[in-house]
Structure 1
């Protein structure tokens, strides 16, 4: 199968823990995104050539939908068996991938993500990684950011 098709995501398990975010794929395997996510209130722009994964949780924060943006490594059948989805965008393209979550390719092999957690009706995380490191981000409202009380991956109440 091709590694360049859009693949719709399925619901995956989510566990928000002190050390990061754990995702349980449909096939039972897990992946762990390390670190407390850095809060973001507007547009997140990734460095060039980084893998970008967007996770939107449900209001209970125990399930979510995971989407790989412009992933060219993972074959469709693997994505389908894990429940992770994928969207492929050309330079200049924009797509609303979930309600309140938009991704675009501005050029230069970068990805931009904008999200409104209120419209998404859950928490919105972005994980950016390559072979040398990873970073985690969470979109928060302006009110949360201004109050200095932004939620982290460990706040599950």
Structure 2
């Protein structure tokens, strides 16, 4: 199967913890996106070649929908088994992936995400990672994080030294 197609997401379980966001895939496996998400109020721009995962919760914050943006490594059958969706964009393209959540490829292998949590009717998280680091972000209303206008994540932080699973996350 291809690894370059859009794949629609299914509902996944979500648990918001004081040390990160846990996602339970439809196949029963869980992954933990570690760290308290950094607030974002406008546009999040990722560094080149980073994996970008967008999670939008429902109003109860116990389930949500997750999409990988421009993931070219994960095959369709794996995404379908886990409930994770995928959107693939060319440079210069943009798409509203959920109501109130837009992703675009401005060029240079970067991804931009804009979100309005009020329109999304839930919490909007973005996880940016590679084999060496991971960062967590949450879109918040302007009045919750004054002064945050745009976050450029080129100043990556290193993750901790926990045992990673096959997909690079703690199980």
- One fold, TM greater than 0.5? yes
Alignment match, 1:72: 72
Alignment match, 2:136: 136
Distance 1:33 1:42 in 2: 22
Aligned length: 147
Alignment match, 1:151: none
Distance 2:65 2:45 in 1: 21
User: Which SS does the other structure have where 1:68 is aligned?
Assistant: strand
Alignment match, 1:34: 34
Q: Provide, for residues 67-115 of structure 1, a one-character-per-residue CA deviation record: whole Å limited to 9, x for no partner.
A: 0000000000000000000000000000000000000000000000000
Alignment match, 1:23: 23
User: Which SS does the other structure have where 1:106 is aligned?
Assistant: strand
Distance 1:61 1:109 in 2: 31
Give the TM-score normalised by structure 1: 0.93
Unaligned runs of at least 5 residues, structure 2: 148-171
User: Which SS does the other structure have where 1:77 is aligned?
Assistant: helix
What is the alpha-carbon root mean square deviation over aligned residues? Answer: 0.9
User: Which SS does the other structure have where 1:146 is aligned?
Assistant: coil
Unaligned runs of at least 5 residues, structure 1: 148-157
Structure 1 residue 5 corresponds to structure 2 residue 5: yes
Distance 1:52 1:91 in 2: 15
Deviation at 1:146, TM superposition (A): 2.9
- Runs of 4+ residues over 6 Å off in structure 1: none
Distance 1:28 1:85 in 2: 16
